[in-house]
């Protein structure tokens, strides 16, 4: 590990035990950051990602924390900075599709859980990140990247996901609003909106395969293609980019 890598500090990637989150964690570790590979339930998956990162000479730890549990989130941020150094970035990737059903068939408790994981959780995580990175709190600045979705535009193709679409719309709006709030304090905030990506989560979502073939490029995306966009947004190369939503969707 070089001095430059040490100076890059820590990055927390939520929901990083598989799919897009795992690809993001691996890419940011390759970029030289110490990475928290967060998971809610899949400890084995997270440890596998950590092993892969360490096998390439990177720094990473697996930390279990449900983003909908505020105390667990607070403990995760404390551990990240204690073991990996000052926080440099947060990637809010953890999310769920929820129950696929028409709105008149949805269960209120399941809707509440969807909102807690997809909207409230990222907000709570962002609050901790701001306290850690903001110059108003003694930090040196940093970056927050929120993973949204082209579903935020309610594009046709997948049935029964209106609540999910609403949560991703909230993520895009939150990112834009927060970017205005913390820009003077050295923090850039952006979102990335993937289209159909080849992940387990997509495979588990009914109707996603038909949606995937609708892209002008005629294929699904790869997790590493989303990770590349996140890597750029976190890096100094995007130092003049904040309040933006980067669409990585094959043209959808």
Q: Which residues are catalytic?
A: 164
> How many angstroms separate the first and last alpha carbons of the chain?
40
Tokens 């709006």 correspond to 173
Letter string b/e over residues 22-51, b meaning 16 or more CB atoms within 10 A of that residue's CB: bbbbbbbbebbbbbbbbbbebeebbbbbbe
Distance CA 67, CA 10 (A): 18
Between vectors from CA 53 to CA 187 and to CA 96, what angle results, nearest 5°? 60
């Amino acid at each position: 590990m070089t001095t430059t890598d040490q100076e890059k500090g820590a990055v927390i990637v939520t929901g990083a035990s598989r799919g897009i989150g795992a690809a993001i964690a691996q890419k940011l570790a390759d970029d030289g950051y110490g990475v928290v590979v967060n998971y809610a339930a899949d400890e084995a998956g997270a440890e596998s990602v950590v092993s892969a990162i360490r096998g390439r000479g990177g720094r990473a730890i697996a930390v279990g924390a449900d983003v909908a549990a505020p105390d667990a989130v607070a403990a995760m941020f404390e551990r990240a900075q204690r073991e990996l150094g000052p926080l440099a970035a947060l990637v809010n990737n953890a999310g769920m599709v929820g129950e696929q059903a028409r709105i008149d068939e949805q269960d209120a408790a399941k809707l509440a859980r969807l909102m807690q994981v997809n909207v409230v959780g990222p907000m709570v995580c962002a609050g901790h990140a701001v306290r850690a990175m903001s110059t108003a709190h003694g930090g040196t600045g940093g970056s927050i990247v929120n993973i949204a979705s082209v579903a935020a535009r309610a594009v046709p193709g997948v049935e029964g996901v209106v609540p999910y679409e609403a949560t991703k719309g909230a993520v895009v709006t939150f990112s834009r609003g927060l970017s205005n709030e913390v820009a003077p304090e050295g923090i850039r905030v952006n979102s990335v909106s993937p289209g159909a990506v080849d992940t387990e989560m997509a495979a588990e979502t009914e109707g996603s395969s038909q949606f995937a073939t609708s892209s002008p490029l005629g294929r699904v995306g790869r997790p590493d293609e989303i990770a590349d966009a996140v890597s750029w947004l976190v890096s100094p190369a995007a130092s003049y980019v904040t309040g933006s939503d980067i669409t990585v969707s094959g043209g959808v």
